[in-house]
C-alpha cells in the first residue's frame, strides 16, 4: 500500500504542477496583451459591479501574484497589483471573474453559501489532520487514540476536504460563466481578446478541477487503507 501511496502522491503532484505551470504561462502571456478599450482591472470590476446593481462592494488592491479573490465577510473584491492596475486582457478577465463571486453573494447563489458554511469545518479538519499525522508518525497519544481510530478520523477529514473541493467547482465555473458573458455583452473584450480571456479563465478553472480529483483520489486511498477490511 505504501508504494501505491507514493505513486498516487507523485502523480497528483505532477499533474498539479503541470496545470499550475500552464496557468502561469497563460496569465503571463495575456497580461502582455493590451485591452482595446484601455480599462484597468479596477475599472472593469467597478463597472461590472455597477452594471449588476451592486454598490456595497469595494475593489481593493492586495499584495502578491494570483492572490485575487472575493471576500464575502467584508464585501471586497481583492485584486493583485498586476490585475488592479493592469490594462490587459488578463487583468480584465480576472477582475470580472472575482466580480462574478460578488454577484453570487448578492444573489445568494446556493453553492457559494454552502462553500462559505464549510470554510470553518475545512479549517478545523486541516488542524485535526496535522495532529493525527503527528500522532501516527511519532506515536504520541497512542494510548488514548488507537491507530484504527486515527485512520477513521483521517478518512473523515479527507471526506470534508473532498466535499469542499467539489462544492468549489460550481462556484468557480459559474463565476467564470458570469464574467465571460458580461465582458462579451459589454464589449470589454473584442475579437480575439474574448478567446484569450476564455482561455485564461478556463486554465484557472482546471486548477480547481485537478484539486478536487486529487482530493477524491486521496480519500479513496485512505478509505481503502483504513476501511478496506471492514
Tell me which DSSP letter residue 145 carries: S
Q: In the chain, where does DSSP find H-type helix?
A: 2-30, 41-51, 81-84, 89-106, 110-138, 147-185, 192-227
- DSSP result, 53-107: T--S-EEEE-SSSS--EEETTTTEEEE-HHHHS--BHHHHHHHHHHHHHHHHHHT
Distance CA 144, CA 197 (A): 54
Distance, in Å, from the CA atom of 200 to the CA atom of 24, rounded to the nearest integer, reads: 9
CA–centroid distance for 183 within its chain: 21
- Are the C-beta atoms of 68 and 86 separated by less than 8 Å? no
172 is annotated as an active-site residue: no
C-alpha cell at 69: 479573490
Residue among 46, 98, 172, 193 flagged as catalytic: 98
Active site residues: 98
Amino acid at each position: 500500500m505504501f508504494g501505491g501511496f507514493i505513486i498516487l502522491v507523485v502523480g497528483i503532484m505532477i499533474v498539479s504542477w503541470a496545470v499550475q505551470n500552464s496557468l502561469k504561462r497563460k496569465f503571463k502571456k495575456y497580461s502582455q496583451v493590451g485591452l482595446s478599450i484601455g480599462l484597468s482591472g479596477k475599472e472593469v470590476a467597478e463597472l461590472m459591479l455597477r452594471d449588476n446593481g451592486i454598490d456595497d462592494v469595494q475593489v481593493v488592491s492586495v499584495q502578491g501574484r494570483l492572490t485575487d479573490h472575493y471576500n464575502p465577510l467584508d464585501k471586497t473584491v481583492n485584486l493583485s497589483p498586476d490585475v488592479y492596475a493592469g490594462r490587459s486582457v488578463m487583468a480584465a478577465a480576472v477582475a470580472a471573474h472575482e466580480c462574478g463571486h460578488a454577484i453570487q453573494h448578492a444573489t445568494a447563489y446556493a453553492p457559494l453559501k454552502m462553500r462559505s458554511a464549510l470554510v470553518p469545518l475545512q479549517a478545523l479538519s486541516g488542524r485535526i489532520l496535522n495532529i493525527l499525522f503527528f500522532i501516527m508518525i511519532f506515536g504520541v497519544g497512542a494510548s488514548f487514540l488507537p491507530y484504527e481510530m486515527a485512520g477513521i478520523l483521517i478518512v473523515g477529514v479527507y471526506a470534508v476536504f473532498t466535499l469542499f473541493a467539489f462544492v468549489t467547482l460550481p462556484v468557480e465555473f459559474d463565476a467564470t460563466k458570469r464574467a465571460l458573458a458580461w465582458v462579451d455583452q459589454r464589449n470589454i473584450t473584442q475579437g480575439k481578446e474574448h478567446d484569450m480571456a476564455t482561455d485564461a479563465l478556463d486554465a484557472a478553472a482546471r486548477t480547481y478541477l485537478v484539486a478536487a480529483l486529487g482530493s477524491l483520489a486521496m480519500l479513496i486511498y485512505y478509505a481503502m487503507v483504513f476501511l478496506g477490511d471492514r
